[in-house]
Amino acid sequence: MSESCTHDCSTCSAACGERAASFQEPANPGSHIKRVIGVVSGKGGVGKSLVTSLLAVNARRQNLKVGILDADITGPSIPKAFGLTQKATGDDTGIYPVFSKTGIRAMSLNLLIDDVSDPVVWRGPVIAGTVKQFWTDVVWGDLDILFIDMPPGTGDVPLTVFQSLPLDGLVVVTTPQDLVTMVVEKAIRMAGMLNIPVLAMVENMSYVECPDCGKRFSPFGESHLEEFAARHGALAARIPVNPKLSAAVDKGMVELYEGEWLDPVSHVLQQLPEKQAE
């Protein structure tokens, strides 16, 4: 790494092979996590929290020990999707995640504040520091896989996660619009600068399926997902516009969803090598 490095990898053209490892933070001593997966996008509102939730539910249905780190500090959605209303607790050892009905462990800012409607009016470094604490200070226990629900863009928080946490790979969420694809490309290139592999691309709101004839319609334009994913060597998967799925999330019952849309992605993630215990 150059002596003039500003630690802002999003604007750096240097190929620092050991860059990511040099900034990594140790997890809490009470955490033993085998795989860490980031769920990212370059743009907000495309369904990162939905994809994170569904992948976590899939993993839990395979009897894996699963956690979700909600890194979207200003717009946390995970507690709502899982119907979590209790608050996180802590002691001298650290902060303890809240368990969902099926045993998924979650940590989110909304599990720490009194009123979940209160806005988080913090500057970027404070937000990034909070996300880092969700890794270093939370007692996750033994986990087979930890999903990180990232905020959109390539700012302080994504950079902090990419540099500070030992990510095994990314799941990129997009929608069919060309504008979204263009913005998502920025996040993918940022990950490439830090040698973090893109494992899968999930296109949310990809199509609408007629309940009578089964014919599929593309309300947001024709998809180029396969071409986009192949260009980056990633698996492609689609989630339709599905009123039942939306209702389950709104009611905090995402763990009851029915659908096989992300099963191939879940299989790829579960085949990743496990981190060795220190």
Domain that holds residue 70: 23-267
Residue 21 has a pLDDT of 52
Per cent of the chain over pLDDT 90 is 61
pLDDT of 81 higher than 90: yes
Q: Is residue 276 part of a domain?
A: no
Helix (H) or strand (E) holding 93: none
Nearest one of 210, 83, 74 to 150, comparing CA atoms: 74
Q: Is residue 243 part of a domain?
A: yes
Q: Is residue 275 part of a domain?
A: no
Residue 13 has a pLDDT of 55
CB 95 within 8 A of CB 138: yes
Q: Is residue 242 part of a domain?
A: yes
Q: How confident is the model at residue 19 (pLDDT cuts 50, 70, 90)?
A: very low
Residue 151 has a pLDDT of 87
Q: Is residue 9 part of a domain?
A: no
Q: Is residue 5 part of a domain?
A: no
Q: Is residue 153 part of a domain?
A: yes
Triad 5, 147, 173: Cα angle to 5°: 80
Residue 117 has a pLDDT of 81
CA distance 210 to 195: 41
pLDDT of 241 higher than 50: yes
Nearest one of 160, 164, 163, 155 to 187, comparing CA atoms: 155
Residue 3 has a pLDDT of 44
Helix (H, G, I), strand (E, B) or coil at 142: strand
What's the domain count of the chain? 1
pLDDT per position as a tens digit, 39-57: 998 778 889 999 999 999 9
Q: What does residue 163 show for φ and ψ, rounded to 5 degrees?
A: -85, -35
Q: How confident is the model at residue 179 (pLDDT cuts 50, 70, 90)?
A: confident
Residue 66 has a pLDDT of 98
Looking at per-residue pLDDT, the higher value among 35 and 194 belongs to 35
pLDDT of 93 higher than 90: yes
Residue 17 has a pLDDT of 46
Residue ranges with strand state E in the chain: 31-33, 36-40, 66-70, 89-91, 94-96, 98-99, 105-107, 141-143, 145-149, 169-174, 198-203, 208-209, 216-217, 235-238
Residue 206 has a pLDDT of 92
The residues with which 35 forms a beta bridge, in sequence order, are none
Nearest one of 72, 83, 178, 93 to 136, comparing CA atoms: 93
CA distances from 3 to 9, 20, 21, 162 (A): 14, 16, 17, 21
CB 54 within 8 A of CB 262: yes
Q: How confident is the model at residue 7 (pLDDT cuts 50, 70, 90)?
A: very low
Q: Is residue 158 part of a domain?
A: yes
CATH number at residue 263: 3.40.50.300
